[in-house]
Amino acid sequence: MDEVQKMMYQAPDAEGKVNFVNLYDLEDMAKKVIPEGGYGYISSGAGDLWTIEQNIKSFNHKVIVPRVLADIEHPDMSTEIFGDKLSLPVIMAPVASHGLAHVKGEVATAKGIAESDTIFTISSYANKPFKDISSAGKGAPQWFQFYMSKDDGINRDILDEAKANGMKAIVLTADATVGGNREMDKRTGFVFPLGMPIVSAYQSGVGQNMDAVYGSSKQKLSPRDVEFIAEYSGLPVFVKGVQCAEDAHVAMESGAGGVWVTNHGGRQVDGGRPAFDSLSEVAEAVNKQVPVVFDSGVRRGTHVFKAIAQGADLVAIGRPVLYSLALGGSEGVKQVFDFFKEELAKTMQLAGTHNVEEIKKATLSNYPWA
């Protein structure tokens, strides 16, 4: 994007039902309506794109073994976290800058997610004011993903605002203390075209590339930051980016109220382990002391099933929601969760699991040929 394009970034403004069969359809369709730089930023990953591709493929490292004669009809997909009831164990992962996908940005996303009776994790790098997003999501729990400032005074202000807006948990992103090696952004010359009001106190905003944006937030994250946030906010704090047992222990010892297993959608370390392959190790270390959320590469109801069977309590999705947001606004957002409801219900029925707790007890079989 050259300077002129940057100034005149034209995000889609579509509203209404999107016609898709699966989420790969959505990706193809979204590519045609989101401006190149924005689409590249959303869709791509680090380096040779090996890890981002393996994220999806790695779900085949474990295969489902369907069970029969289980006396099931209409399996129960609902679940609960921190006292909030959700219609399905799939929530919205934090994703920066929904304004790249739709002029209504996070406001439309919040609306669609609230209508899906699940959780929206609002990114620090949202393009809409905190209050507008939380208002749009009324009736559904919201969490706040935190990129900390280097200044603790600013951090306190942001946490105050998060609490004022009713956030139920704080998600500390710990796996992005610098931007990953995003070659697509180098090729398109991508810079963020829109402001980020939640962090405007430390983030100057429009026209900066990803390295500059990450550079303005805090790099030297440590267990003390988890303690600080937990203590100051009084809210459960997820450490996001945990990929091994050791870090699960570090997080819990720091007072984390949850552990979020992810490799940031393959956007940070190429040649890093696919997120699904890290899940069981982390879940075993956590040992049900705190909730485990999983994301990275989830595109199917069967992926949700497998992640829960490997130890996740909740599964988060990201890119597909942005694509559907671009194509249909809040209605598109809701359709993505409807898609997961349909696929997960079928999978649960055919796998012989009456509810989410039974998925957790389902056995997956190793698949060394994948």
Considering only residues 43 to 72 of the shown chain, the ones binding a second copy according to CB under 8 A are 47-48, 50-51, 54, 57-61, 63-72
CA 261 to chain centre: 10
Task: Decide if 264 is catalytic.
Answer: yes
Catalytic residue among 98, 102, 264, 303: 264
Query: Interface with a second copy includes 368 (CB under 8 A)?
Result: yes
Q: For residues 153 and 369, which CB has a smaller minimum distance to a second copy in the complex? A: 369
Which residues on neighbouring strands pair with residue 315, listed in sequence order?
A: 90, 294
- Taking CA atoms, 328 is separated from 25, 146, 299, in Å, by 14, 28, 18
Give 347's contacts (C-beta < 8 A, 6+ positions apart): 64, 301, 302, 304, 305
Tell which positions 183-212 bind a second copy, by CB under 8 A.
Answer: 183, 186-187
Per DSSP (E only), the strands in 90-191 are: 90-92, 120-122, 142-146, 170-173
**94 marked among binding-site residues:** yes
Query: Interface with a second copy includes 247 (CB under 8 A)?
Result: yes
**295 marked among binding-site residues:** yes
Secondary structure (3-state) at 152: helix
| Count, residues near a second copy per rule CB under 8 A | 80
Whether residue 191 contacts residue 179, with contact meaning beta carbons closer than 8 Å, is answered with no
Distance CA 106, CA 95 (A): 10
Distance CA 176, CA 135 (A): 28
**Could you tell me the smallest distance in angstroms from the CB atom of residue 68 to a second copy?**
4
**Could you tell me the smallest distance in angstroms from the CB atom of residue 362 to a second copy?**
11
Query: Interface with a second copy includes 177 (CB under 8 A)?
Result: yes
Q: For residues 115 and 343, which CB has a smaller minimum distance to a second copy in the complex? A: 343
**145 marked among binding-site residues:** yes
Q: For residues 178 and 206, which CB has a smaller minimum distance to a second copy in the complex? A: 178
Query: Interface with a second copy includes 157 (CB under 8 A)?
Result: no
Member of 43, 181, 208, 216 binding a second copy (CB under 8 A): 181
Member of 109, 124, 302, 353 binding a second copy (CB under 8 A): 302
Stated as kind and residue range, the H or E segment containing 316 is strand 314-317
Distance CA 52, CA 36 (A): 19
Query: Interface with a second copy includes 10 (CB under 8 A)?
Result: no
Question: Residues comprising the binding site?
Answer: 41, 94-96, 123, 145, 147, 173, 182, 240, 264, 267, 295-299, 318-319
Catalytic residues: 264
